[in-house]
């Protein structure tokens, strides 16, 4: 199945991968990933790198990890829990 990667012409701007399910972009020089997990639901993560090719690799790895967890019925995001008046994450 072809991937249909989309990159901007000038090398700047978002990079879309996996048929638009992954969006890699930089914010203040550090790459971020937005991953579509379900219909109209997204997971945002910092990839903690300034290297574009490393960011793409990390985003794909994160995407496949989330897909595996979804198929296995495991949680793939973090949830906040309020315990005795204190917010714990």
pLDDT digits (tens, 9 = 90+) for 13-68: 899 999 999 999 999 999 999 999 877 789 999 999 999 999 999 999 999 998 89
**Number of neighbours of residue 35 by Cβ within 10 angstroms:** 23
| 0.75 exceeded by pTM | no
Judged by DSSP in three states, 6 sits in strand
CA distance 46 to 48: 5
Which has the closest alpha carbon to 26: 14, 16, 34?
Answer: 14
Which has the closest alpha carbon to 71: 22, 34, 37?
Answer: 37
């Amino acid at each position: 199945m072809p991937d249909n990667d989309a990159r901007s012409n000038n090398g700047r701007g978002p990079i879309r991968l996996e048929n638009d399910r992954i969006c890699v972009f930089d914010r203040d020089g550090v790459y971020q990933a937005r991953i579509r997990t379900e219909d109209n639901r997204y997971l945002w993560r910092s990839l903690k790198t300034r290297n574009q090719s490393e960011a793409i690799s990390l985003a794909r790895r994160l995407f496949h990890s989330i897909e595996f967890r979804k198929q296995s019925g495991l949680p793939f995001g973090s949830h906040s829990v309020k315990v005795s008046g204190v917010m714990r994450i």
